[in-house]
Amino acid sequence: MVTLRLENIGTRYGKVQVVSDVTTPTIQPGTVTAVIGPNAAGKSSLFRRVAGLAKGDGIVDLGSHRKERNTICYMPQDTGSTAVLSVYESIILAAKQGSSLRVRADELARIDDILAALRIGDLAARNLGELSGGQRQLVAIAQTLVRDPKILLMDEPTSALDLHRQMEVLSFMRDVAKGQNIIVLIAIHDLNHALQYCDQAMAIRNGKMVAFGPCSDVIDSDLLRDVYQVDGHVELNSLGHPHIVLRGPSDETNSRHNTATARKTLTEVAQAAQ
């Protein structure tokens, strides 16, 4: 059984440290963790470091589990592909990943199941290059799932999907986490979806983890103000689900004073550049 604990994880691009000292409690299998935070907070960089795609400091502790090739899979944010392959071929290649290209009947059946679960069976024969953004994102999810990961890091997997598909995919991922007893981390900007579909949340700001815990503990008015600079609160909606009510950007970022300061700074930058 795999568990995941991050200890003092950091990573940098050149000399710029973009993630530092991320230490989490042990994340249990069968759970979905929302990784939240503003643009450029470091969520993708953290995922890349945990997946071993970026170098850096710290320890990725998998408990007693021995790391194998597909133990940790990262599904990137940018799922564009120019490969001249059909959807089905691309998923077979993802499943085989350098191992023997002989495909067993049970592997094909599993691919069919995943395509059916994501409702993209009708795309199987289409070329990757002719898919819409949302269709490409669904195919990328299928390509990741066939690799049978124990830890799945999904970078904004629903950003190109319509509302119905977003809810379907998040609910499906929750079922996959529980059904296959795997660990799923999802970088996500929709905090209401995090509240609805994730067990816990990790909040990142400026490359540091500022909160970790049950979603309803992490996502509150303090987080909205301190991490997202918006005024708002969480209340129960008519269905009894926690739901964010936003008033707008917090006074600090919205004030005339700050706008004036920003203009002045831009003027100074322009003058300095002359």
Ligand X SMILES: Nc1ncnc2c1ncn2[C@@H]1O[C@H](COP(=O)(O)OP(=O)(O)OP(=O)(O)O)[C@@H](O)[C@H]1O
- Rounded to whole angstroms, the Cα distance separating 160 from 134 reads 5
45 near ligand X, judged by CB under 6 A: yes
Judged by beta carbon, residue 22 or residue 234, the one nearer ligand X is 22
> Residue 12 is inside which H or E element, if any?
strand 5-13
In whole angstroms, what is the distance from residue 36 CA to residue 192 CA? 11
Tokens of 55: 């170098």
Which position among 7, 8, 23, 40 is part of the footprint of ligand X (CB under 6 A)?
40
CA distance 70 to 268: 51
Binding residues with ligand X: total (CB under 6 A): 11
* CB closer to ligand X out of 13 and 101: 13
Residues 86-125 that bind ligand X (CB under 6 A): none
Rounded to a whole number of angstroms, the minimum distance from the CB of residue 103 to ligand X is 34
Binding part of the chain for ligand X, among 38-46, 96-104, 126-134, 228-236 by CB under 6 A, reads 38-46
Stretch that binds ligand X, among 36-44, 56-64, 96-104, 218-226 (CB under 6 A): 36-44
Would you call 55 helix, strand, or coil by DSSP? coil
Residues 48-77 interacting with ligand X (rule: CB under 6 A): 77
- From 35-43, 161-169, 192-200, 254-262, give the range in contact with ligand X by CB under 6 A: 35-43
- Judged by CB under 6 A, the residue of 10, 29, 37, 157 near ligand X is 37
Determine if 43 is a binding residue for ligand X (CB under 6 A). yes
Selected range binding ligand X among 40-48, 84-92, 213-221, 242-250, rule: CB under 6 A: 40-48
Task: Give the DSSP letter of residue 26.
Answer: P
The type of residue at 138 is: L
Tell me the C-alpha to C-alpha distance, in Å, between residue 202 and each of 18, 168, 216, 231: 16, 22, 12, 20
Q: How far is the CB of 117 from ligand X (least distance, A)?
A: 26
Token readout for 132 is 């819409």
Q: How far is the CB of 77 from ligand X (least distance, A)?
A: 6
Strands 72-75 and 151-155: parallel
CB of 46 to ligand X, least distance (A): 7
Least Cβ distance, residue 47 to ligand X (angstroms): 8
Q: Does residue number 13 form part of the binding site for ligand X (CB under 6 A)?
A: yes
What amino acid is encoded at 253 in this protein? T
Residue from 20, 31, 33, 44 in contact with ligand X (CB under 6 A): 44
The verdict on 157 binding ligand X (CB under 6 A) reads no
Burial class (CB in 10 A: 0-12, 13-18, 19+), 165: middle
- Nearest-CA neighbor of 3 among 57, 66, 55? 66
Rounded to whole angstroms, the Cα distance separating 171 from 184 reads: 12
Residues near ligand X (CB under 6 A) are 13, 18, 37, 39-45, 77
